[in-house]
Structure 1
Amino acid sequence: MDSKNESAYDFESHWNDTYRKIPVKSLGWYEESPTASLELIGSCYLPDDALIFNAGAGASTLIECLLNDGFSNIVVNDISVSALLELKNNLSTHNHSNVTFIVDDLTKPTSLLELKNVDLWHDRAVLHFFTQEEQRLAYFKLLKKVVNVEGFVILAEFNLEGAKKCCGLPVYNYNAEMLQNYLGPNFTLLKSFNYTYTQPSGNTREFVYTLFKRIA
């Protein structure tokens, strides 16, 4: 896909087709145990009723882990209806009243504009798909609108040494300094580390994981 011609419709159809055609456990970003994310979330010492927002969650196993850990106020977003249906089916043993599902585009939000008082924004492998500057600016505008002062932001994206494409789409690679620049001075970096993720296929992908705190 030519990044110059990307649109909300392109992303929506692409991810719906992906989740319809490929078993979740075979997807290139599937994690049986999202260890790095859980460790960063644990270091935030959030109360059980903290509002946790998972941006572009897909069918992530993280949500089940958070529910198992006792978190009771989780908002899950994706542009793909198919992805969220898969996630909901995988959470069949849990009480869905603790999870709100929102189908929306992070770069052209509608329903997400009603979101507020987010204590933790979590994004693993979503932001790097936004290859246009206007998409990135819209993403961070939404983030800054909804995250509380004293709230946390976890961004885990392909690092500068990482892959340049994923699932047939181009990506935009990051380091911690670049993410800090987009967040601005009201966010302070608490932790950052490079992480090698092993795909179900056995191939590897290089990530940078970051944890920020909003200070103003």
Structure 2
Amino acid sequence: MSRNYWEEVYQSKPADQVSWYQQQPSQTLTFIESLDLPLDAKLIDVGSGASLLVDQLIEAGYKNLHVLDLSGTALQATRERLSEKGLDISEIDWQVADICTVALEPQHYDVWHDRAVFHFMVTEVHQQQYLHNVRQALKPNGFMILSTFAEDGPTQCSGLPVERYSVEKLAQRLGGDFILLHHEVEIHITPWNTEQKFLNTIWQFRN
């Protein structure tokens, strides 16, 4: 994936004017809370962009947060927003990196969260690189919360092609070491009031 492309996206558009923007990413927080993890569990949000999820996680008391995105501009916007809210950002691990090629600490994370990144992996090479990193970085029995476009969702996002998924197709793509715990379809309303269908899933990694 192109870092320059995503830098241009975040430099040219306000954070609340990209199609995936959520004013309240409450469903994701509900998913994370359903796992009943301690507040010091290690959570990584890959492709976090300028999402407000990290705000909610801090406000909910989670203390071991890691955010990763290709765009340094997006992460800087998140830093500034959190600081304006008076939220402590000193303990957050910030990484500007490509999730396909970054070297993450092995067996480090309790939760891997991805909303609208994996569906940009349209080649087998990128899909395998991504999943290799998930398997390397998650603790045994750790969790992956993964949201992609549903099988009848959009065919493109931000001008780029995407891969759409049913539960069965996603399970086949992930492989037998990911056990499906929960799934549901979400109708996401974009900032310009159009509908996008997302498939939201929770998996447990059994290596």
Task: Tell me which interval the TM-score lies in, with the shorter structure as reference length.
Answer: over 0.9
Counterpart code for 2:91: N
Return the match for 1:100 from 93, 110, 119: 93
TM-score by length of 2: 0.95
2:177 counterpart (174, 178, 186) = 186
In the alignment, residue 107 of structure 1 is paired with which amino acid? C
Output the aligned Cα RMSD: 1.2
Give the partner amino acid of 1:57: S
Q: Which residue, out of 112, 116, 130, partners 1:125?
A: 116
47, 58, 70: which one aligns with 1:67: 58
Q: Does 1:168 align with 2:159?
A: yes
TM-score, normalised with respect to structure 1: 0.91
| Cα distance in 2, alignment partners of residues 175 and 98 from structure 1 | 37
State yes or no: 1:18 paired with 2:5. no
Please, which of 151, 154, 165 is the counterpart of residue 142 of structure 2?
151
- Give the partner amino acid of 1:99: I
Instruction: Please tell me the residue identity of whatever aligns with 1:193.
Output: E
- 1:140–1:182 Cα contact (<8 Å) kept: no
Structure 1: distance between partners of 2:96 and 2:107: 16
In the alignment, what sits opposite 2:200? Answer: 209
Uncovered stretches (5+) of structure 2, i.e. residues with no partner:
none
Distance 2:115 2:122 in 1: 16
| CA apart distance, 1:115 | 5.4
Which one is further off, 112-121 or 91-100?
A: 112-121
Identical amino acids, percent of aligned pairs: 32
2-side partners of 1:198 and 1:19: how far apart? 20
Using the TM superposition, give the Cα deviation of residue 182 of structure 1 relative to its aligned residue in structure 2, in angstroms: 2.8
Size of the aligned set, in residue pairs, is 205
Q: Whole-Å Cα distance in 1 between the matches of residues 146 and 204 of structure 2?
A: 11
| CA deviation profile, 1:153-180 (whole Å, cap 9, x unmatched) | 0000001100001111111111222222
Give the deviation of 1:99 after TM superposition.
Answer: 0.9
Structure 1 stretch 188-197 or stretch 173-182: which is displaced more?
Answer: 173-182
- Given that 1:54 and 1:123 are in contact with CA atoms closer than 8 Å, whether structure 2 keeps it comes out as yes
Supply the AA of the counterpart residue of 2:192. Answer: S
> How far apart, in 2, do the equivalents of 1:208 and 1:165 lie?
15
Structure 1 alignment gaps of length 5 or more: 1-7
SS in 1 for 2:180: strand
Q: Identify which of 78, 93, 113 aligns with 2:69.
A: 78
